[in-house]
Structure 1
Amino acid sequence: MASILKPSMRAAETNICRQCFRLQARRNITSISTQNPKSEIRSRSNNISSTTRPSQAVRARPILTKQNARPFSSTPPACAYKTIEEAKARTKIGPFSWQAGVLFLLAGAGLTVYFRYEKARMARARVAEANKGVGKPLVGGPFHLTDMHGREFTEQDLKGKYSLVYFGFTHCPDICPEELDKMAGMIDIVREKYGDVLKPVFISCDPARDTPEVMRRYLVDFHKDILGMTGTWQEVKDVCRAYRVYFSTPPDVQPGQDYLVDHSIYFYLMDPEGDFVEAIGRNFTVEAAGRVIGDHVADWRGKIEK
Structure 2
Amino acid sequence: MRKALPVFLIALVAVVVGALTFNLWRDRSKGDDAPFGEPFQLVATNGQPITEAAFRSHPSAVFFGFTHCPDVCPTTLFELDGWLKQLGPEGEAVRAYFVTVDPQRDDVETMKSYVGNVSDRIIGITGEPDKVAAMLKSYHVYARKVPTKEGNENGDYTMDHTASIFLLDAKGRFRGTIAYGEKPDTAIAKLKKLAEG
Q: TM-score range by the shorter chain?
A: 0.7 to 0.9
Matched, 1:231 2:121: no
What does residue 147 of structure 1 align with? 44
Q: Secondary structure at the match of 1:293?
A: helix
3-state DSSP of counterpart to 1:260: strand
- TM-fit CA distance, 1:195: 4.7
Q: 168, 171, 189: which is aligned to 1:270?
A: 168
The reply on whether 1:242 has 2:133 as its aligned counterpart is no
2:110 equivalent to 1:214: yes
Alpha-carbon distance between aligned partners in 2 of 1:269 and 1:289, rounded to the nearest angstrom: 11
Counterpart CA distance in 2 for 1:132 and 1:275 is: 15
Please say if residues 131 and 137 of structure 1, whose CA atoms lie closer than 8 Å, have aligned partners that are also in contact.
no
Q: Kindly indicate which of the two structures has a greater share of residues assigned to strand.
A: 2
Query: Quick check: 1:197 aligned with 2:93?
Result: yes
| Cα separation, 2, equivalents of 1:199 and 1:296 | 11
TM-score, length-scaled by structure 1 = 0.50
| 1:1-306 alignment, distance < 5 Å | 133-134=29-30, 137=34, 139-190=36-87, 192-249=88-145, 257-298=155-196, 300=197
Cα drift, residue 225 of structure 1: 1.4
TM-score (norm 2): 0.75
Tell whether the 8 Å contact from 1:185 to 1:286 is kept in structure 2 after alignment.
no
Q: Deviations over 1:257-306 (max 9, x none)?
A: 312311110100000111111111124122321111212332x2xxxxxx
Q: Which amino acid aligns with 1:183?
A: L
Match of 2:188, SS state, is helix
Instruction: Return the offset for 1:193.
Output: 4.3
Q: How far, CA to CA, are the matches of 1:249 and 1:159 in structure 2?
A: 30
Map Cα deviations across residues 148-184 of structure 1 (whole Å, 9 max, x no partner). Answer: 1211100012222110000000011111111111111
AA of the residue aligned to 1:162 = P
Q: How many residues align?
A: 164
Counterpart AA for 1:231:
G
Using the alignment, how far apart are the partners of 1:132 and 1:185 within structure 2?
34
SS of aligned partner of 1:261: strand
Distance in 2, Cα, partners of 1:272 & 1:142: 16
Distance 1:293 1:131, change over 3 A: farther
| Distance 1:180-1:131 versus aligned 2 partners, 3 A rule | farther
State which structure, 1 or 2, has the greater radius of gyration over its C-alpha atoms.
Answer: 1
Deviations 1:89-127 (A, max 9, x none): xxxxxxxxxxxxxxxxxxxxxxxxxxxxxxxxxxxxxxx
Larger RCO: 1 or 2 (CA < 8 Å, sep 6+): 2
Distance (whole Å) between structure 2 residues aligned to residue 260 and residue 275 of structure 1? 30
- One-letter identity of the residue aligned with 2:60: S
| Change over 3 Å in CA distance of 1:195–1:181 after alignment to 2 | closer
Residue-by-residue CA offset, 1:8-41 (whole Å, 9 max, x unaligned): xxxxxxxxxxxxxxxxxxxxxxxxxxxxxxxxxx
Distance 1:288 1:131, change over 3 A: farther
Q: Please, which runs of 5 or more residues in structure 2 have no aligned partner? A: 1-25, 147-153
Dislocated runs of 4+, deviation >3 Å = 130-133, 135-139
| Gap change, CA 1:141 and 1:291, over 3 Å in 2 | same
